[in-house]
Amino acid sequence: MKRVVMTGVGPVTPIGVGAEAFLEGQHSGKSGVGPLTYFDASVINSRIAGEVHLDFSRWIDPKEAKRMDRFVKMAMVGAALALEDAGLKEEDVAGEHAGSLIGSGIGGLESYQEAAVTFVTKGPNRISPFFIPTMIANMASGQVAMRYGLMGPSSTVVTACATGSGAIGDAFRIIQRGEADIMVTGGAEAAITGMSMGGFASMKALSTRNDEPQKASRPFTASRDGFVMGEGSGILILEELEHALKRGARIYAEVVGYGTSADAYHMTMPAPEGRGAALAMRRALKSAGVEPEQIGYVNAHGTSTPANDLAETQALKSVFGDHACKLAVSSTKSQTGHLLGAAGAVEAIACAQALKFGVLPPTINYEDPDPELDLDYIPNQAREQQVEYAMSNSFAFGGQNAVLVFKRYV
């Protein structure tokens, strides 16, 4: 099997856009959560979000942007940043040797909402002919492929909050099998809309800490009360090792393992004791050929919801046994909010940067430990610590789980 490395990253997040800004945001313990500004949220119980304010015209022709949903624009910016970070020009990736595999948990929700209003107020004959090709979830991957001439393997993953990790895992396997030298991969999401926020609020899934937005996302604490919606993208470049070495690429980390599973239990609740999550972790470790004791850091799914944080902690204890108490575990969602289909990809970037630079991101807002959750969650401040292997967890509605394992590259 071919070896696969990460050679470029393009994070578009509420705490920073681009590799350096995202890294600095992590290390400084920045929160990207604030009052929601995109629409009047006064009638719902959660009025906070992790917004990303961008001038898309810096990266996308304004005429083309009119035919893209916001999640696609996020992906396009992320791809441009990742390719630049990897030192790859358009002529380097155009052709059959490079592909695109970018997922979205929900897809073009903004376009869907606008079309729904048009349908109700003006009728079906007034809906834009661009509605469908703007809204469908595969268009992030498709538009990136069109922009850069990527004619290799192309696909889309849609597994809710496990999407970003699943896309990277599938792209990893494509390169392992020798079907491509380069894959532009990751996830993108732009779900801070009235329909989405209203739906999650009705489920009582969102934090209602509206008076303290920056402290609202607080994974693994006793006072956690729900997740905070975020938006953005995590696009990264995976490359076959020999191909990367031949061109003198900088390498962030090696991708060595990927595991998936299904809870087969409930639409939204995790399986008792995190059984499905534990299975995905074990499969990722087996895929990597790594023993549990070799993992030094876990970027947790860590949504700040009562059920998820408990189930994930139980799953970690089940998989790692006595080593669980020695693990460094953190949730970067404490800083960014939950980016849904982009979350796993952004967190994969955080793992790779942690391995590369020897600094582990913190779980901010860790002020009141939950006595049931007793692992080392890297409270409040980034930690200088070099580890050899890192794991990234992503768990989703529908009980779909995806776990990645990364190795420090030296």
pLDDT at 11: 98
pLDDT at 49: 98
Question: CB 323: neighbour CB atoms within 10 A?
Answer: 16
Are 339 and 228 within 8 A, CB to CB? no
> In this structure, what are the phi and psi dihedrals at residue 3, rounded to the nearest 5 degrees?
-90, 145
pLDDT at 268: 94
- Catalytic residue, from 4, 9, 136, 161: name it: 161
Flag whether the pTM goes above 0.95.
yes
Are 367 and 353 within 8 A, CB to CB? no
Whether 161 is catalytic is yes
pLDDT at 366: 98
- In this structure, what CATH number is given to the domain that contains residue 223? 3.40.47.10
In the chain (410 residues long), the average pLDDT of successive 10-residue segments reads 98 98 98 97 96 96 95 98 98 98 97 96 96 96 98 98 98 98 98 97 97 98 98 98 98 98 96 97 98 98 97 98 97 98 98 98 98 97 98 98 97
Domain residue limits at 68: 1-410
CA distance 344 to 395: 9
Domain count, the chain: 1
